[in-house]
Structure 1
Amino acid sequence: MGYAVHRLTRSELRAVESEFEGMVHRFKIASERDLMAKGGKGKSKKSEGGKKDRQPERRSSPREPSKEMVAESGSTSAFDDEGEDAGFERDLEEAERLLEQEEKMRKEEEKAAAARKKVFGGAGNDDTDIDKAEEEEDDEDDEYEESEDFSVDSDVAEEVSAHKNQDLLDAMGETGIDSMPPQMVINPHFPTAYPAGRGRTGDLELFHLPIIYKSHQTGFEPTKDLVLTPGSVFAGQYLVQNELGSAAFSTAYRCIDLNSGQIDEDGEEYHEEVCLKVIKNTKDFFDQSLDEIKVLELLRQTNKCHENNIVEMRTFFYHREHLVIVTELLRQNLYEFGKFIVENDEPPYFTRKRLCYITQQVLVALDFIHKRGLVHSDVKPENILLASYSRARVKLIDFGSSCYLTDRQSSYIQSRSYRAPEVILGLPYDGKIDIWSLGCVIAEMYTGEVTFQNDSVVTMLSRIEAICGTFPRHLIATGRQSGQFFTGSGLLYERSDAHDDSGRHSDDEDEVEHGGGEPLFHVFQPKVTTLAARLGFRPDLMEKAKVMQEYKEKALFVDFIRCLLTIDPDLRPTPKEALRHPWILSGMKLTEKDVKYPPE
């Protein structure tokens, strides 16, 4: 277990908080005195021009608990017990010292951030393939962003939309609707709606949902549960082979597209295998899957899904009261394949070299979707599928939870073990939540264990603190949901339920023993370790790497995971920055032989 749990009543918890705050305060004062002793005079002198030093405004440091937070937690401050006059004078001096220290810390953080940015952007290889690809991508993204920067009256916008769409309708009248690309087909009854993926932010868009049904027949299906039988033909086109797997709101099937017949070099006809994702028949799942179709259609229209490691949607339709999404057929996901490797005692697959190659591909995929204003929101091993086992090629799938940065943000996203700190605390978030999830995934694939093993959100937070360090106080102070997990002084806690660990109800005697029926709280004390140790290396790996060359490659790997698992999202890298990390750049030199599986 990566933490210790202390069971306290409310009054005991308040006493612990008060003592904790006093301890932090005394530690800060002692540290400041040590700094002053080492650095000489701690206060600035009067200037030669005779101007007095400006007295700092009395305010609390961002890293200190505010008075409001202390009041909410019911704790007493270490400042409250001092004498009025002497206490005020001393508090003023202490505030000045704290502000000076805070300024020093802020400058150190800025230097660290600048150094990190230098690491991410300091490769200097202007002639690499990734630089060229990024320059081309940036040019396209500039065009995409320019198309979004406008604001006009809604009536004028509809009139302009109708005019543009009428031009398309006129073109269809001249050339025939059959000659138009499917995504360009306009419904004449909705002239103000753009084709899917063609509108700008705020425009109306429209896509056509094919509904396949039996002629001259109405009525409901006998059951809401649709099970495809191997050997049957679904929707008159897809020969069912077998079920691939089932998730919360869909079931996937391997099928042969009978309408995709092509002739190979030997003159024989072959058909494409595809994946049918059959959505369960509920309104919520239906609506969520329509959102996924919108996103997949937007990505498909770029014609760059394959090169950016995104699953390619073939089509979609509605049949037998179920929405169906058809995509290319891929192989097993990272979780299933890793499990298969272990159970069958196969050679290790997720080596650092192969993981570097896989991580690079996922970062390219995330960079591609983030530049289009999208957040995947559910990066996990099950949603990264292998396209080729032997060549370690992967693709990112499942955009059912994806959202736009302009959408109303929800805290009920991401699978719990891969959920970013800012989502848990109820802070604003962006694409960097995907980066946190990816860090969890890569560490898990390397160790074979979930990185932050947990049975609740608070136990996961405790493990995060044990491995990645304490949560910055400003994140706790501004998070809408921080109070559910942190006390005002930054202690992790959760309220105990009415059952003890054995599952039985506490009796009256227990309640008296624990404070006469007061509610009980579990306070979590993280057992601090290092990320290197969590990844299976020696705890002092990073220090050893400074003096011994043999540890440097391992240290680069650990540092990369550390960057992705940075608690503060402002200091966490973007996909483009992560692609510049030395560990990823080292993978640019990998050959097919380096990643080939099984190894020769």
Structure 2
Amino acid sequence: METQCITEFPHRNMDKRPRKKPRLTWDMPPPIPPSQVLPAIYCGQEFASGAVPNHAHSSVYYKGAPRNGSSARRDDKDGHYIFSIGENLTPRYRILSKMGEGTFGQVLECLDNEQKEVVAIKIIRSIHKYREAAMIEIDVLQKLAKHDISGSRCVQIRNWFDYRNHICIVFEKLGPSLYDFLRKNSYRSFPIDLVREIGRQLLESVAFMHDLRLIHTDLKPENILLVSSEYVKVPDYKFLSWPTKDGSHFKNLPKFSAIKLIDFGSTTFEHQDHSYVVSTRHYRAPEVILGLGWNYPCDLWSVGCILVELCSGEALFQTHENLEHLAMMERVLGPLPQHMVIRSDRRSEKYFRRGSRLDWPEGATSRESIKAVWKLPRLQNLVMQHVDHSAGDLIDLLQRLLRYDPAERLKAREALRHPFFTRDLRRCGYSL
């Protein structure tokens, strides 16, 4: 099989996967070449259209940034730091480009003038609750780094500092997230051997955290980064018979399978309060939705959802509301257990008829919602549509990770001993 090794990912056909609620990503337009950077170029926020306005003069501005190049105001109305390409964050770090942003703030690519390496710096919004969360994240990162001697499981913190009322966390620079890779690859699924290797590393990282009595609570493809940005272009046999002009009969695969977890801003210790809502919607466990409290098993539910997404290219539960989410779960996995329904909190009672049966489709908000649930296949059929070999082992693993009752769900180290990872040692590892 002929492959082509590439290090820069093309940006075409990137957003074809339908979503009811777009998720934040770290993807940004390519950095402006240094030769084109002017002092008046600011990166406070993107234009909604992604386009740059055509000014009569040569300066390029981003929406929300001061147009006079003044550095007097350093925050926008939401507390995001307004910066210019080429400026310094303290004398040590020079800003090269913007890598992405989220509710927490922004991530910048910077040059560490002291260590002579490129790093990623997370600049937290200058708002009290985000600053507090950042200090908790730093505590978690330092604990992880202390025990992860090889630095192979979680992103490594290099440094942190407080700059103009913004907590800045310095990380090693990694490759794209799994979500970004799927998105830029037109949501084409990964081969099963790559899913196996990523799943193994993911479970090892989760087991490592759980051994330290830490619960990530926000596992998702956006928070799993490939260590390398390199990828190869290979024939996509599902599309070879289609006459296309856009190269769709080829797909991209990571050249290397190594991954690391990121974003520990929501990570909690075992002894902390576990009654509030956690996890990004698509990866949220049923016990969280039903208000039953949560613990380590909520991470394993997320892992199950992630593995399905890597196999299919699509998020398993593409929804934005609780009732529809529960209906999707029942469609894919079967009915919710009565003992969980009976124990659900008062906020969840409205999702059930006479306290037992899910209020579906009677309680649906629209016909589109009913159709979205109806078109979902059972878990076994979904896997069989996308997996050539090892389907039986994968289905069994997923059924154990996606158990409704958290007490019956596989633990991370138990999952690592599952036949999906151990049955055929010849299939261990990933190679092109």
> Could you tell me the TM-score, scaled by structure 1's length?
0.51
Could you tell me which amino acid in structure 2 is paired with residue 454 of structure 1?
T
Alignment partner, residue 245 of structure 2: none
Listed as ranges, the matches of 1:424-463 within 5 Å are 424-463=289-328
Secondary structure (helix, strand or coil) at the match of 2:353 reads coil
Alignment partner, residue 304 of structure 1: 149
Please point out which of 560, 570, 595 is paired with 2:397: 560
**Higher RCO (Cα < 8 Å, 6 or more apart):** 1
Q: Distance in 2 between matches of 1:249 and 1:341?
A: 27
Listed as ranges, the matches of 1:64-75 within 5 Å are none
Alignment partner, residue 356 of structure 2: 490
Q: Distance in 2 between matches of 1:397 and 1:500?
A: 35
Asked if residue 371 in structure 1 is aligned to residue 225 in structure 2, the reply is no
Listed as ranges, the matches of 1:335-350 within 5 Å are 335-342=179-186, 350=190
C-alpha distance 434-525 of structure 1, shift in aligned 2 (>3 A): closer
Structure 2 unaligned spans of 5+: 1-71, 229-253
Q: Distance in 2 between matches of 1:414 and 1:527?
A: 25
C-alpha distance 353-311 of structure 1, shift in aligned 2 (>3 A): same
Contact 1:358–1:394, Cα closer than 8 Å, also in 2: yes
Please point out which of 90, 99, 114 is paired with 1:259: 114
Secondary structure (helix, strand or coil) at the match of 1:301 reads helix
Could you tell me which amino acid in structure 1 is paired with residue 159 of structure 2?
T
Q: Distance in 1 between matches of 2:226 and 2:424?
A: 18
C-alpha distance 474-376 of structure 1, shift in aligned 2 (>3 A): same
Q: Distance in 2 between matches of 1:368 and 1:238?
A: 32
Asked if residue 290 in structure 1 is aligned to residue 155 in structure 2, the reply is no
Alignment partner, residue 171 of structure 2: 327
Larger radius of gyration: 1
Alignment partner, residue 119 of structure 2: 274
How many Å apart are 1:461 and its aligned residue?
Answer: 0.5
> Could you tell me the TM-score, scaled by structure 2's length?
0.70
Secondary structure (helix, strand or coil) at the match of 2:294 reads coil
Could you tell me which amino acid in structure 2 is paired with residue 319 of structure 1?
Y
How many Å apart are 1:315 and its aligned residue?
Answer: 1.1
Asked if residue 402 in structure 1 is aligned to residue 239 in structure 2, the reply is no
Contact 1:465–1:528, Cα closer than 8 Å, also in 2: no
Listed as ranges, the matches of 1:10-49 within 5 Å are none
Asked if residue 244 in structure 1 is aligned to residue 99 in structure 2, the reply is yes
Q: Distance in 1 between matches of 2:182 and 2:74?
A: 39
Secondary structure (helix, strand or coil) at the match of 1:337 reads helix
Secondary structure (helix, strand or coil) at the match of 1:570 reads helix
Secondary structure (helix, strand or coil) at the match of 1:467 reads helix
Listed as ranges, the matches of 1:172-211 within 5 Å are none
Q: Distance in 1 between matches of 2:373 and 2:267?
A: 35
Listed as ranges, the matches of 1:421-570 within 5 Å are 421-480=286-345, 481-493=347-359, 529-537=377-385, 553-570=390-407
Q: Distance in 1 between matches of 2:311 and 2:92?
A: 41
Contact 1:377–1:434, Cα closer than 8 Å, also in 2: yes
The structure with the largest helix share of the pair is: 1
Count of matched residue positions in the alignment of Structure 1 and Structure 2: 330
Q: Distance in 1 between matches of 2:177 and 2:73?
A: 35
Q: Distance in 2 between matches of 1:222 and 1:442?
A: 39
Could you tell me which amino acid in structure 2 is paired with residue 438 of structure 1?
V
C-alpha distance 439-501 of structure 1, shift in aligned 2 (>3 A): closer
How many Å apart are 1:452 and its aligned residue?
Answer: 1.4
Q: Distance in 2 between matches of 1:229 and 1:587?
A: 53
Contact 1:376–1:403, Cα closer than 8 Å, also in 2: yes
Q: Sequence identity, in percent?
A: 29
Secondary structure (helix, strand or coil) at the match of 1:452 reads coil
How many Å apart are 1:588 and its aligned residue?
Answer: 4.8
How many Å apart are 1:525 and its aligned residue?
Answer: 8.9
C-alpha distance 466-315 of structure 1, shift in aligned 2 (>3 A): same
Secondary structure (helix, strand or coil) at the match of 1:535 reads helix
Q: Distance in 2 between matches of 1:552 and 1:358?
A: 17
Contact 1:466–1:527, Cα closer than 8 Å, also in 2: no
Could you tell me which amino acid in structure 1 is paired with residue 134 of structure 2?
S
How many Å apart are 1:249 and its aligned residue?
Answer: 1.4
Contact 1:278–1:322, Cα closer than 8 Å, also in 2: yes
Q: Distance in 1 between matches of 2:425 and 2:84?
A: 45
Could you tell me which amino acid in structure 1 is paired with residue 212 of structure 2?
R
Asked if residue 417 in structure 1 is aligned to residue 282 in structure 2, the reply is yes
Listed as ranges, the matches of 1:38-187 within 5 Å are none
Q: Distance in 2 between matches of 1:530 and 1:501?
A: 22
Asked if residue 572 in structure 1 is aligned to residue 412 in structure 2, the reply is no
Q: Distance in 2 between matches of 1:380 and 1:528?
A: 20
How many Å apart are 1:535 and its aligned residue?
Answer: 2.8
Q: Distance in 2 between matches of 1:535 and 1:292?
A: 36
How many Å apart are 1:288 and its aligned residue?
Answer: 1.1
C-alpha distance 301-278 of structure 1, shift in aligned 2 (>3 A): same
Could you tell me which amino acid in structure 1 is paired with residue 383 of structure 2?
L
Alignment partner, residue 228 of structure 1: 83
Please point out which of 217, 222, 228 is paired with 1:382: 222
Q: Distance in 2 between matches of 1:285 and 1:494?
A: 38
Contact 2:199–2:307, Cα closer than 8 Å, also in 1: yes
